[in-house]
Amino acid sequence: MPRDMVRRSLAKDVLNSDSVREAAQTMRVGVSALIEHLYNISMLDGFERDELRASLPTV
């Protein structure tokens, strides 16, 4: 996922569980994969990543 595509897919650079879910759907990737990618490209710190992970529904 190129950084530009990730940035364009996020709603106004707001990183919350809803915007990440919408961006993942737009890019056709899993939410957890997108969260990890955002962390890997330094758009999230460790705390934000953990918070977003915790907001994911458990199956």
What is d(CA 56, CA 54) in angstroms, rounded to the nearest whole number?
5
What is d(CA 7, CA 34) in angstroms, rounded to the nearest whole number?
12
What is d(CA 43, CA 16) in angstroms, rounded to the nearest whole number?
12
DSSP state at residue 10: S
The domain of 26 spans 3-55
What is d(CA 59, CA 16) in angstroms, rounded to the nearest whole number?
20
Strand segments, DSSP code E, in 8-57 are none
Give the model's pLDDT for residue 13.
65
Q: What is the pTM of this model?
A: 0.85
Residues 31-53: tens digit of each pLDDT: 999 999 999 999 899 999 999 99
